[in-house]
Structure 1
Amino acid sequence: MTQILVIDDDPTIRLVLTKALQKQGYQVTVAKDGKEGIEQAQRLRPALIISDWMMPHMDGLQVCQWVKANPDLSTTFFLLLTARGDIEDRVIGLDTGADEFLSKPIEIDELNARVRAGLRIHQLNQELHSSKQILEAELADAAEYVRSLVPSPVTSKPATIEWRFIPSKQLGGDCFDYYWLDADHLAIYLLDVSGHGVGAALLSVSMLNLLRSRSLPNTNFHQPKEVLKALNQSFQMNYQRQHYVDKYFTIWYGVYHRVKRRLVYASAGHPPAVLVSGTNAGNTLVKKLKTPGLPIGMFPEAEYADDSCEIKALSSLYVFSDGIYEINLPDGTLWGLDDFIKRVIYYRQKQTANLDHLLDDIRTLNGKDSFEDDLSLLQIIFG
């Protein structure tokens, strides 16, 4: 039976409302003031509250503020009972959080109509709240699944690798991997699918499995530009038409030759990887590693190119998604790539610093518990 709470300091009004509502089949509980009303609301979690505006000690607006601030009563419909008819008064009530008004003297037909409408809205809000909880649970499960696929850190020579991955609240399409193609060649890549949600995450996982299994036909995985070209062709044929219309993804892919100490790389619309050599301010060298190329899935005729660079001893390579530096600051400005690189250099020059210190700094800049986009960061230190 639907639970309705009536809060009014006038016993006659309480009796009139109780009789009218019980006649419609509702279960009614009454409270004689705001304090008792809050106690009853906490206990009952009613579908609808009818509260008088003018009451001693705690008025209806204060009760309304408390109800709307309570997560357990987020779907409760609040109907404010008042003899005030001025527009200014109703604006105040709406700004406080009231959902509807009921004028004094009470017209029973109007009461019943407003209660029925309020209960319909309450039911819709409950369904939306339930759907939101289910969606959040699904996103959390998807994020956990994506996290389970990331590789383990590497602590042995010739390269030590660690990473940090923080899914956004909506879950994006970041994923990354690294593995030895043979005894001398280490492949490293990070990709970022457009959009958010489970669809973006599933596409990123599909690409991860495709690369991890090396199932792209006629592809030399030692040559980054060939890998990107094959990915683009495969995406056009097997993914774009069937499952992921209007989707695309960016990627940075590199192959390190441990004997020659040379890194060959290519990118498709992805932020540049950053290579940092030297350990102090006097000899630090920074190089952005990026090649021209459109994101995978945009155009079937897209072309990709390789580039290469020498890797000096104790150099560090940072590969990341744009979620780590596209941060809206409180003053309205955007924290950008160059700001992030400066922060990387600063922490690298501090011998005791690590990725957690860097991310704590970025969290502070973000000013919120969650990020707008997935945040992925790889750090490869070459011995």
Structure 2
Amino acid sequence: MFKVLIIDDDSATRALLKRTLQNQGYEVFTANHGEEGIALATQLRPALIVCDLVMPGIDGLEVCQLIKSDPELSTSFFLLLTFRGAKEGLIQGLDKGADDILAKPIEMSELKARVRAGLRLYQLTQDLQAKNRMLQGLTQDLQLQKQVLEAEFTEASEYVRSLLPSSLTGSVTIDPRFIPSRQLGGDCFDYDWLDPDYLAIYLLDVSGHGLGAALPSVSVLNMLRSQSLPDANLYQPNHVLMALNEAFQMTDQNERYFTIWYGVYNRLQQQLVYSSAGHAPGILINRSVDGTVTAKQLRTPGMPIGMFPDSKFSNAYCRIEPGSKLYIFSDGIFDLLQPDGNLWGLHDLINLLVSCAERGNTNLDSILEQIQNLAPKKAFDDDACLLEITFSADPALED
């Protein structure tokens, strides 16, 4: 049974959170101020800590910093409670090491989901640490160490996969593919109807590999999915990218940055507004009345998120013809070094997509098989994501 510690100076909030989490089967402890919370955390070593930001005496930021600086407690998942729109608290919380942020007033279903996700990450970290301790006694057997670590990264990839959305049907259909490589990476994507007429779609890729890349990717996914990113109009892609750039500067993220493509489709007007930050373009495939297939690259200027605090991002607009297809992907799909030393790149991918559309062979698995056959050992060196988005010929279809 996981131990959960709640630190909040408000007795009503403590009681509500304790009852809710006890009903989920956790062993719950409470503290009514920061000093008591730190003492209990040292004694209990809980798997997860839920802590209010604003408290008398030691506030939530100080509690977070003290917890994360203690080697015995640093793996405890730290969920910081703040008020919706409290931008300064969000940035400071992430800077002090908070693993996740939850805005007040608290939606209980969201709290339970965040706690489940946090405990999965905690358990994964504990498993990795346990295996690493075991491997310290087997340093001469490097092959066994490699196999165990690969198994752990596979487990982490499956966790990331569990967070990703399933296919979407309706007036817009989305067929997604996530192909994890042998190294855990930072690819992530999501799509959701902001309201019945506006569909948000985004795909991001954090620099590097391993848990260091996967965890920021999951943090961004959770923040956008919960709509807790401050000062971000989710209907305006450039606003979203600017807010992400403020919240995730690489100087505060272990020098990690990420690229992202973000678009919002207006179902009734059949218009797509999009913006990108150092990411590969979306590829829009259209077939004209005479059967001619064309490809349009959808990309705007912009540096990757986190590189420069004053980066600017712009929107672009595109008319979406009925029956057209949009492909969004990470660079792992097209950065393929061939056996002859040549690089199979973006333009080769575009040519393949056009060729498949001309032949009427737009099955996503078939397209991926053709790409993988070009990769060394038919496997991607990096995590790869590919979304195929098909726009209905009838925009009035209900979703």
Shorter chain as normaliser: what TM range?
0.5 to 0.7
How many angstroms does 1:129 deviate by? 3.3
Select 2:209's aligned residue among 177, 191, 196. 196
Q: Please show how residues 84-95 of structure 1 align to structure 2 within 5 Å.
A: none
Larger radius of gyration: 1
Per-residue Cα deviation, 1:143-201 (whole angstroms, up to 9, x for no partner): 00111111110122x11110111011112110001000011100000000000111111
What residue is the counterpart of 1:365 in the other structure? 374
Q: Give the alignment partner of residue 125 of structure 1, picking from 135, 140, 143.
A: 140
Query: Is 2:163 aligned against 1:154?
Result: no
Match of 2:279 among 263, 270, 279: 270
How far apart in 1 are the matches of 2:262 and 2:275? 6
Q: Counterpart of 1:334 in structure 2: which amino acid? A: L
Aligned pairs for 1:213-228 (under 5 A) are: 213-228=226-241
Letter aligned with residue 327 of structure 1 = L
- Residue 304 of structure 2 is aligned to residue 295 of structure 1: yes
Q: Which runs of 5+ in 2 are unaligned?
A: 1-136, 393-399
- In structure 1, the partner of 2:29 is none
Letter in 2 for 1:141: E
Matched to 1:290, the amino acid is R
Question: TM-score, with normalisation over the residues of structure 1?
Answer: 0.64
Of 177, 198, 203, the match for 1:164: 177
In 1, Cα distance between the equivalents of 2:138 and 2:162?
A: 38
In the superposition, the TM-score normalised over structure 2's length comes to 0.62
Q: Aligned pair in 2 of structure 1 residues 198, 280: CA closer, same or farther (>3 Å)? A: farther
- The equivalent residue for 2:388 is 379
Q: Does 1:206 align with 2:219?
A: yes
1:222 positional shift: 0.1
Q: Bigger CA drift: 277-286 or 162-171? A: 277-286
Aligned residues of 1:275 and 1:318 also touching (Cα < 8 A) = yes
User: Is the contact made by 1:268 and 1:295 (CA closer than 8 Å) also made in structure 2?
Assistant: yes
Q: Secondary structure at the match of 1:181?
A: strand
- Equivalence map 1:13-24=2 (5 Å): none
Partners of 1:317 and 1:145 in 2: CA distance: 27
Distance 1:271 1:124, change over 3 A: same
Distance 1:297 1:136 in 2: 29
CA apart distance, 1:280: 8.6
| 1:1-20 residue CA offsets vs partner (Å, 9 max, x unmatched) | xxxxxxxxxxxxxxxxxxxx
Aligned: 1:252 with 2:261: yes
Deviation at 1:348, TM superposition (A): 2.2
One-letter amino acid of the structure 1 residue matched with residue 314 of structure 2: A
Residues 299 and 240 of structure 1: is their aligned pair in 2 closer, same or farther, counting only changes over 3 Å?
same
Contact persistence 1:232–1:296 (CA under 8 A): yes
Counterpart in the other structure of 2:42: none
- 5 Å-filtered alignment, 1:1-383, equals 124-126=139-141, 128-156=142-170, 158-236=171-249, 240-241=251-252, 244-278=253-287, 282-383=291-392
Runs of 4+ in 1 over 4 A off after TM superposition: 279-282
2:247 is paired with a residue whose SS is helix
* 2:128 alignment counterpart: none
Give the residue type in structure 1 aligned to 2:147.
Q
How much does 1:123 deviate?
A: 6.2
Name the aligned partner's letter for residue 342 of structure 2.
Answer: T
Following superposition, the deviation at residue 301 of structure 1 comes to 0.8
Is the contact made by 1:280 and 1:349 (CA closer than 8 Å) also made in structure 2?
A: no
Deviation at 1:124, TM superposition (A): 3.7
**Contact (CA 8 Å) 2:167, 2:175: kept in 1 or not?**
yes
Give distance in 1, aligned partners of 2:158 and 2:218: 12
Which letter does structure 2 place at the counterpart of 1:286?
A
SS at match of 1:309: strand
Q: Alpha-carbon deviations, 1:25-74, whole Å to 9, x = none?
A: xxxxxxxxxxxxxxxxxxxxxxxxxxxxxxxxxxxxxxxxxxxxxxxxxx
Measured in 1, the distance between the counterparts of 2:148 and 2:182 equals 14
Deviations 1:99-147 (A, max 9, x none): xxxxxxxxxxxxxxxxxxxxxxx96422x33432332122011100111
CA RMSD for the aligned pairs?
Answer: 1.8
AA of the residue aligned to 1:213: S
Preserved contact between residue 206 and residue 256 of structure 2 (Cα < 8 Å):
yes
- Aligned residue pairs: how many? 256
% identity of equivalent residues: 54
